[in-house]
Amino acid sequence: MNNFEYCCPTHVVFGKGTIARLSELIDRNKKIMMIYGGGSIMKNGVYNQVKQALEGFNVIEFGGIEPNPKYETCMKAVEIIKREGVEFLLSVGGGSTLDATKFISIASKYNGEDAYDAIMIREEPIKESIPLGDVITLPATGSEMNNGGVISRLATDEKLPFHNDLVYPKFSIIDPEVTFSLPTKQTINGIVDTFVHVMEQYCTYDVNTPLQDGWALTIFKTLIEEAPKVLSNPTDYDARANIFWCATCGLNYWISLGAVQDWATHMIGHELTAFYGIDHGQSLAIVLPRLLKNQKVSKSKKLAKLAREVFGATEPVDLKAADIAIENIEKFFNSIGMKTKLSDYEIEAQDAAEKVRARFAKRNTALGEKLAITADTAYDILIEC
Q: Given the rule CB under 8 A, which residues bind a second copy? A: 1-18, 208-211, 214-215, 217-219, 221-222, 225-226, 238, 241-242, 245-246, 249, 254, 257-258
Instruction: Quote the CA–CA distance of 272 and 352 in Å, as a whole number.
Output: 7
CA distances from 9 to 134, 166, 176 (A): 14, 10, 22
Strands 158-163 and 58-62: unpaired
Is the dihedral angle over the CA atoms 240, 273, 326, 332 positive or is it negative?
positive
Separation between Cα atoms, residue 365 and residue 373, nearest integer Å = 8
Residue nearer to a second copy on the CB measure, 10 or 377: 10
Give φ, ψ of 5 to 5 degrees: -125, 145
Least distance in Å: CB of 5 to a second copy?
A: 5
Using alpha carbons only, what angle is made at residue 161 by residues 27 and 111, rounded to the nearest 5 degrees? Answer: 60
Coil, strand or helix: which one is 169? coil
Q: Closer CB to a second copy, residue 204 or residue 294?
A: 204
* Least gap, CB of 212 to a second copy (angstroms): 8
Q: How far is the CB of 140 from a second copy (least distance, A)?
A: 16
CA proximity to 202, closest of 304, 109, 275, 107: 304
d(CA 157, CA 33): 28
Q: Count of CB atoms within 10 A of residue 125's CB?
A: 8
Nearer to a second copy by Cβ, of 6 and 350: the residue is 6
Q: Which is nearer to a second copy, 226 or 318 (CB)?
A: 226
CB 164 within 8 A of CB 120: no
Closer residue to a second copy, CB minimum distance, 193 or 226: 226
Measured from the CB of residue 7, what is the shortest distance to a second copy in angstroms?
4
Q: How far is the CB of 311 from a second copy (least distance, A)?
A: 15
Q: How far apart are CA 323 and CA 326, in angstroms?
A: 5
**Kind and range of the H or E element at 226?**
helix 210-232
User: What is the C-alpha to C-alpha distance for residues 133 and 1, in angstroms, rounded to an integer?
Assistant: 33
Q: What single-letter amino acid sits at 175?
A: D
- Compare residues 75 and 257 and give the one whose CB is closer to a second copy: 257
CB of 226 to a second copy, least distance (A): 7
Closer residue to a second copy (CB): 11 or 28 = 11
With respect to a second copy, which residue has the nearer C-beta, 254 or 332?
254
Evaluate whether 65 touches 36 at the Cβ level (below 8 Å): yes
If the CB atoms of residues 218 and 261 are measured against a second copy, the closer one turns out to be: 218
- Contact (Cβ atoms closer than 8 angstroms) between residue 345 and residue 276: yes
Taking residue 218's Cβ as centre, other Cβ atoms within 10 Å add up to 16
**Residues 9, 22: Cα–Cα separation, whole Å:** 17
- Is the CB of 46 or the CB of 249 nearer to a second copy? 249
